[in-house]
């Protein structure tokens, strides 16, 4: 079902907000009321003069909170909107093509992964290729393009970069968050109200030096900093000129705030590195709340990821189980799948993903054929019946407990002919058994990568045939043998993005994929492997915290083949508060585009769920959490509110505003969903 035609379209261009109409002061000249949005933004963007004036608005939508007017003299106060989009400024990006963000080579990866996990829209500006200037920071109309800039760069000099344009953007409403940087530039010093002094090492505990929205949880005893007693890392010693210190480590500031105006701030976080933003709940929480403070609000998926797990069962349809001495078993039949997969999943209200291969390497005909017609007694005397397997997988998918995903096409080297092959006729006790032959996206046997064009061909065959055999659009690629190519042009994750996959999971790496960005989710999504004879090593109590993404647990069709109680045993080992999570649901969530836009006199959020990546939501609802900074929340709590979803009125309890976040539940249906809050007309402020 596609509801997009029935739902309101965003009334302004993507990435823009325009609350100006309602934010106008009573004193606003009539002429500007009649001006077009672009004109008003032009007014808003006039450069500041000698003085700055902060004008608070009185209406509901104090999202942008304020305007700092132009010159202190004649220019009338103009109210600025705050776009729900972040600019991530990075010093260096290892991919010259600007596609793949890699945890091993890109220092900024943890922040990119977190923003993606939180569904916060962002652009990346790389100082190694791009020149920062007003063309990035301002829209054509003159309004700001970004609600916040997250600054992760830390070069000894910024050379020709135009940091004055950044100062202009902050005057126009863009907030600034600088993390793990010495900010060696006078303009950055001035914005932060801070000077870099020296490096230092200290094992002192962090303490809250000022009550603030950002430090609220820590002051309340939640997310307390872990002991620093064995952390001798280099830290940055900064000295405030006008900034307030919110968190300190002994005499050293660790988090500072320079409030440039209502709703406009410049924050500095002295985290020892960027990985801790994912790994430490203390730093993660400070970073998240800094973001809410800077943007005014943040909308995140309403999923308790800390207790979610994705099950992946690999190897459905592969040929090797019928002839490899070290990997032999009966491909599970329809009955085995029903009793030992579907039933236990249903009993636990669970879901799993089958990583399927549709290209069966047939050693007799020396061709790739369909697995689902294979019916034979194998080398070890087992009666294999793959038609039954396919039926079982279809039943599980129809029962809603199984997503069908791609494990590649054949699970095998694309070139089975050349030396040291041909593999087709190689002795299965010798060359034919070599594990390198059983990897599809990296030529392990010959120590080479697989060329991009060959990988793409295999991915496309897989997608086509999964559609043909199961009527399903696979959205995840999981390469076999944890083998994949990593160089720029052959990067398997990048190629998977190109053919339309939304998630890539090697055994030890998970990437978010779309056509423009491929992000390593290291430190956000932990992954583990298990098996019927390995469950004792699972040790969930030792898993790292994962508040922003599910755990992915890999095992095989083999485990239910060799141990019919495997699924029950697996559920028994998992902590009782864990629930399974579907791959396609996860992909749908991380591909939902959240935007905010103005429509009349309210805050409107739009959630775009397309028919490809977000197909799951055609028949399922989704839930989101709107985090509000204190000033906005207090403003909302003081108003009589009308809330609507897709144009239909819904309720918001006053008590909801006692908490820091609101839940937004969206109905099933693809296209654009709109959530809107506005002040009731009869109680509106003049």
Q: Which residues form the interface with Zn ion (CB under 5 A)?
A: 314-315, 480
Q: What is the smallest separation between the CB atom of 84 and Zn ion, expressed in angstroms?
A: 41
CB nearer to Zn ion: give 217 or 469.
Answer: 469
CB nearer to Zn ion: give 405 or 599.
Answer: 405
Query: Comparing C-alpha atoms, which of 316, 315, 312, 438 is closest to residue 387?
Result: 316
Query: Comparing C-alpha atoms, which of 195, 186, 173 is closest to residue 294?
Result: 173
CB nearer to Zn ion: give 313 or 598.
Answer: 313
CB nearer to Zn ion: give 70 or 480.
Answer: 480
Type and span of the H or E element at 603: strand 602-609
DSSP 504: E
Q: How many CB atoms lie within 10 A of CB 4?
A: 16
Pairwise CA distance, residues 480 & 453, whole Å: 18
Q: What is the smallest separation between the CB atom of 378 and Zn ion, expressed in angstroms?
A: 18
Q: What is the smallest separation between the CB atom of 408 and Zn ion, expressed in angstroms?
A: 8
CB nearer to Zn ion: give 315 or 520.
Answer: 315
Query: Comparing C-alpha atoms, which of 150, 146, 120 is closest to residue 64?
Result: 146
CB nearer to Zn ion: give 225 or 506.
Answer: 506
396 contacts 428 by C-beta, under 8 angstroms: no
CB nearer to Zn ion: give 309 or 324.
Answer: 324
Which positions ≥6 away from 361 have C-beta within 8 Å?
319, 368, 410, 412, 416
Pairwise CA distance, residues 673 & 646, whole Å: 6
Q: What is the smallest separation between the CB atom of 586 and Zn ion, expressed in angstroms?
A: 20
Which positions ≥6 away from 661 have C-beta within 8 Å?
625, 626, 627, 628
Name the residue number minimizing CB distance to Zn ion: 480
CB nearer to Zn ion: give 235 or 321.
Answer: 321
Q: What is the smallest separation between the CB atom of 317 and Zn ion, expressed in angstroms?
A: 10
CB nearer to Zn ion: give 267 or 459.
Answer: 459
Using CA atoms, how far residue 543 sits from 172, 307, 369, 574, in Å, is 44, 11, 41, 11
Q: What is the CA radius of gyration of the chain?
A: 28
Q: What is the smallest separation between the CB atom of 496 and Zn ion, expressed in angstroms?
A: 16
Pairwise CA distance, residues 148 & 86, whole Å: 5
CB nearer to Zn ion: give 437 or 613.
Answer: 437
Pairwise CA distance, residues 174 & 82, whole Å: 7
209 contacts 247 by C-beta, under 8 angstroms: yes
Q: What is the smallest separation between the CB atom of 419 and Zn ion, expressed in angstroms?
A: 25
Q: What is the smallest separation between the CB atom of 368 and Zn ion, expressed in angstroms?
A: 16
Q: What is the smallest separation between the CB atom of 315 and Zn ion, expressed in angstroms?
A: 4
CB nearer to Zn ion: give 217 or 315.
Answer: 315
Which positions ≥6 away from 555 have C-beta within 8 Å?
311, 312, 313, 314, 529, 530, 531, 532, 566, 570
Q: What is the smallest separation between the CB atom of 369 and Zn ion, expressed in angstroms?
A: 19
Which residue's structure tokens are 């030396």? 419
Q: What is the smallest separation between the CB atom of 462 and Zn ion, expressed in angstroms?
A: 13
Helix, strand, coil % over all residues of the chain, rounded to 5: 30, 25, 45
């Amino acid at each position: 079902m596609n509801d997009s035609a029935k739902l309101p379209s965003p009334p302004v261009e993507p990435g823009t907000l325009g609350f100006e109409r309602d934010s106008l002061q009573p004193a606003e000249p009539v002429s500007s009321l009649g001006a077009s949005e672009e004109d008003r933004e032009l007014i808003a963007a006039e450069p500041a003069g000698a003085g700055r004036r902060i004008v608070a608005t009185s209406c509901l939508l104090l999202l942008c909170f304020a305007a700092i007017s132009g010159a202190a003299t004649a220019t009338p106060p103009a109210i600025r909107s705050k776009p729900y989009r972040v600019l991530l400024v990075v010093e260096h990006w290892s991919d010259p093509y600007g596609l793949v963000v890699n945890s091993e080579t890109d220092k900024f990866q943890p922040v990119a992964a977190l923003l993606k996990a939180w569904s916060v829209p962002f652009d990346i500006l790389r100082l190694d290729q791009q020149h920062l200037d007003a063309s990035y920071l301002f829209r054509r109309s003159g309004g700001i393009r970004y609600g916040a800039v997250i600054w992760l760069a830390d070069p000894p000099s910024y050379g020709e970069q135009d940091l004055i344009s950044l100062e202009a953007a902050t005057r126009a409403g863009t907030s600034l968050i600088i993390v793990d940087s010495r900010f060696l530039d006078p303009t950055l010093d001035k914005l932060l109200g801070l000077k870099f002094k020296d490096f230092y090492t200290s094992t002192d505990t962090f303490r809250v030096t000022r009550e603030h929205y950002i430090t609220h949880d820590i002051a309340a005893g939640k997310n307390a900093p872990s002991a620093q007693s064995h952390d001798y890392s280099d830290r940055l010693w900064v000295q405030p000129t006008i900034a307030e210190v919110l968190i300190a480590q002994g005499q050293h500031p660790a988090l500072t705030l320079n409030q440039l105006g209502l709703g406009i701030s410049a924050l500095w976080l002295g985290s020892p590195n960027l990985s801790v933003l994912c790994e430490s709940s203390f730093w993660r929480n400070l970073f998240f709340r800094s973001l809410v403070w800077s943007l005014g609000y943040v909308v995140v998926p309403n999923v308790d990821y800390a207790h979610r797990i994705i099950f992946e069962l690999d190897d459905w349809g592969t040929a090797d189980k019928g002839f490899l001495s070290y990997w032999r078993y009966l491909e599970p039949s329809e009955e085995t799948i029903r009793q030992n997969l579907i039933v236990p999943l249903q009993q636990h209200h669970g879901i799993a993903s089958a990583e399927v291969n549709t290209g069966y390497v047939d050693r007799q005909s020396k061709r790739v054929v369909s697995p689902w017609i294979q019916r034979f007694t194998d080398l070890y005397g087992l009666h294999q019946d793959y038609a039954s397997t396919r039926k079982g997988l279809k039943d599980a998918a129809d029962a809603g407990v199984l997503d069908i995903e791609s494990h590649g096409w054949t699970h095998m080297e694309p070139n089975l002919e050349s030396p040291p092959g041909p593999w087709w006729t190689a002795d299965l006790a010798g060359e034919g058994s070599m594990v390198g032959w059983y990897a599809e996206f990296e030529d392990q046997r010959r120590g080479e990568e697989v060329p991009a064009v060959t990988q793409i061909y295999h991915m496309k065959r897989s997608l086509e045939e999964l559609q043909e055999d199961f009527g399903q659009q696979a959205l995840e690629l999981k390469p076999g043998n944890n083998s994949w190519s990593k160089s720029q042009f052959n990067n398997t994750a990048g190629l998977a993005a190109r053919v339309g996959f939304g998630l890539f999971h090697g055994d030890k790496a998970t990437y978010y994929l779309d056509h423009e960005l491929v992000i390593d989710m290291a430190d956000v999504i932990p992954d583990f492997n298990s098996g019927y004879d390995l469950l004792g090593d699972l040790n969930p109590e030792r898993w790292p915290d994962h508040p922003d993404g599910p755990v992915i647990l890999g095992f095989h069709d083999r485990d239910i083949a060799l141990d019919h109680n495997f699924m029950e045993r697996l559920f028994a080992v998992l902590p009782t508060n864990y629930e399974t999570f579907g791959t396609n649901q996860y992909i749908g969530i991380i591909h939902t585009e959240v935007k905010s836009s103005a429509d009349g006199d309210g805050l409107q959020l739009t959630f775009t769920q397309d028919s490809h990546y977000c197909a799951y939501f055609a028949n399922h609802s989704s839930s989101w959490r709107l985090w509000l900074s204190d000033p906005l929340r207090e403003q909302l709590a003081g108003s009589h509110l009308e809330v609507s979803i897709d144009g239909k009125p819904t309720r918001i309890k006053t008590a909801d505003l006692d908490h820091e976040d609101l839940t937004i539940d969206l109905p099933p249906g693809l296209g654009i969903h709109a959530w809107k809050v506005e002040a009731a007309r009869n109680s509106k402020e003049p």
